[in-house]
């Protein structure tokens, strides 16, 4: 599914089950520490298995992918990337920094957000747009997709900005026909923004899984993700 929403210059790998033969580098095992439960160890290990598969596609040999500040993965020099995991799904995406400045991916269950969560992660104008989308396109849980899109934006934002971005610091607009979204950073970024204030992304919706991706081109001559129709079934 992930390759549907990423440009060709970005390599990705995904798994719909944990991979028994996947292993960790000693440094990764140390960073993980004594996992609270086996499920956490399996997802940590499998998503790094995906990362190494994606890195191999751009010619990078197997290396440890350690969690850095706020848990963001630390990639080899000259590489940008993102990882995500959800129930029954693990994925990673990477690209050379000469092509891509930053990228973010996120996966979420295709189910409604808990009622108390919606107000905490949305702005008033977003709630109005979500209501209209739900009326016109009821097969998609737009509230959870908005959460997914904001997570992808944050994963692209943080390596560039080096500081937190709150859920209500971005306003997201979806194009349901084109399978794209636009996120505008509206507050909380300081007087001199350290990262772009507008992010263009793509999304896809399967029966059980939502995916969102943001790719920030490297420089004015960088790539532009090609539009694609959403997958909604």
pTM: 0.90
Q: pLDDT class for 230, splitting at 50, 70, 90?
A: very low
- d(CA 173, CA 158) in angstroms, rounded, equals 21
Contacts of 157 (CB under 8 A, 6+ apart): 102, 104, 165, 185, 195, 199
Q: pLDDT class for 39, splitting at 50, 70, 90?
A: confident
Give the mean pLDDT of 32-49. Answer: 87
Express each pLDDT in 148-185 by its tens digit. 999 999 999 999 988 888 999 999 999 999 999 999 99
Both tokens of 202, joined, read 């793509």
Torsion of CA 67, 6, 105, 139, to 10 degrees: -160
Q: Which helix (H) or strand (E) holds 135?
A: helix 124-136
Express each pLDDT in 185-215 by its tens digit. 986 555 556 688 899 999 999 999 999 999 9
What is the phi-psi region of residue 162: left when phi exceeds 0, alpha when psi lies from -120 to 50, beta otherwise? left
Could you tell me which of 12, 181, 146 has the C-alpha nearest to residue 2?
12
């Amino acid at each position: 599914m992930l390759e549907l929403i990423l440009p060709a210059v970005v390599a990705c790998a995904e798994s719909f089950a944990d991979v028994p033969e996947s292993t960790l580098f000693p440094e990764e095992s140390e960073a993980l520490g004594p996992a609270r439960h086996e499920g956490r160890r399996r997802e940590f290990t499998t998503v790094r298995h995906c990362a190494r598969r994606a890195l191999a596609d751009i010619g990078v040999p197997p290396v440890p992918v350690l969690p850095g500040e706020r848990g963001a993965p630390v990639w080899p020099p000259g590489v940008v990337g993102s990882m995500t995991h959800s129930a029954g799904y693990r994925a990673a995406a990477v690209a050379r920094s000469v092509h891509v400045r930053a990228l973010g991916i996120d996966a979420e269950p295709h189910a409604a957000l808990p009622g108390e969560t919606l107000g905490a992660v949305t702005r008033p104008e977003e709630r109005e747009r979500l209501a209209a989308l739900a009326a016109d396109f009821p097969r998609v849980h737009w509230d959870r997709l908005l959460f997914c899109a904001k997570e992808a934006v944050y994963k692209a934002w943080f390596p560039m900005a080096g500081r937190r971005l709150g859920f209500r610091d971005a306003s997201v607009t979806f194009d349901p026909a084109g399978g794209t979204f636009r996120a505008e950073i509206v507050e909380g970024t300081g007087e001199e923004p350290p990262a772009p204030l507008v992010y263009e992304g793509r999304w896809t919706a399967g029966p059980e899984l939502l995916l969102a991706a943001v790719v920030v081109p490297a420089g004015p001559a960088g790539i532009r993700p090609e539009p694609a129709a959403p997958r909604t079934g």
